[in-house]
Amino acid sequence: MKEVSFSDIAIVACGTLSMELNQLQEEGFLDTEHLHYTTPGLHQDIHELEKQLVHQINKAKEKVNKVIVVYGGKYCYVNPDQPLRTLQQIIEEQGPGIVRIEATHCMDILADEDTRNKHAEELVGDEKVWWMTPGWVKFRKQVFKGWDKGIANENFPRHTGGAVVLDGIGYLDQYMEENPEAFLEYCDWMGIPMQACPVSLDRLKSLLLSQAGKLKES
C-alpha cells in the first residue's frame, strides 16, 4: 500500500471508530497528532452530530488546513426536517481543504458490501445479518441510546444470522474473555447471538489514503 504522510492532516471522525483509528496511529500509519472525535452514536441525534462535527472541524483547522472526515455519507446523517440536507453539504460549508471518505456507514468503512456479503455467506449462509463494529459493542450505551427491550425486539430478531462484528483489532475476543457476563447480557438483550468476523484495516487505510492524495493535489 502506497505510503503517504498524514502529518499535515487532521482526522475528524465518529467516536465509534476511535479504536481502529487510534490503532492506525499507534502503528505509525496515521502519522498525525490531530485526531478529533465526536460522541459515538450521534446518528440518532443529527442536530448534535452537526454541532459536534462542525466544532471538531473548526478545532482541527486551528492546527492544520487539511482535514479528512471519517463518517459515512448515506446513513450516518438523515435529517427528516431537511431531507435534502446531507453530511457532505455540512462539510462543504466549513470551507476548503476538508474532504470525507467515500463510504456509506461505519460498517462500509471497514468492509465494502461485496466483502460483507462474502463474509455473511461463509458464516451464516443465506441468513440475514445485523452488522456491527467493535465500537457498537464498546459504546453500546451511546449507540443504542434510548433503546429499550421493546425496540430491540422489533429490530434484532429478524436478523436470523445474528450479529456479526467486523473486527479489525481483535476487540470482541478480548471483550468476551474479560467480560463474559456483559457479552452474554448484550446477546440476550438483542435476542440474537453475536460473533466476530476478523477483517483487516486495509479498506480503512485505502479510504484514508485516497482522500489524503486529493488533499495534497489540491
Mean pLDDT of the chain: 95
What is the reported pTM?
Answer: 0.94
Banded model confidence at residue 2, pLDDT cuts 50, 70, 90 = low
Banded model confidence at residue 73, pLDDT cuts 50, 70, 90 = confident
Digit-coded pLDDT (tens) for 128-158: 999 999 999 999 999 999 999 999 999 999 9
Banded model confidence at residue 1, pLDDT cuts 50, 70, 90 = low
- Nearest in space to 103 (alpha carbons), one of 211, 212, 217: 211
Nearest 5°: CA angle at 52, between 49 and 53? 80
Q: Which domains does the chain have, with CATH numbers?
A: 10-107+201-217 (3.40.50), 112-198 (no CATH)
What average pLDDT does range 49-66 have in this prediction? 96
Q: Which long-range contacts (CB under 8 A, 24 or more apart) does 47-55 make?
A: 49/76, 49/77, 50/77, 50/90, 53/12, 53/87, 53/90, 53/91, 54/90, 54/94
- Sheet arrangement for strand 10-14: 35-38, 10-14, 67-70, 98-100
The kind and range of the H/E element at 142 are helix 140-143
- Which residue carries 460549508 as its cell? 93
> Residue 83: pLDDT above 90?
no
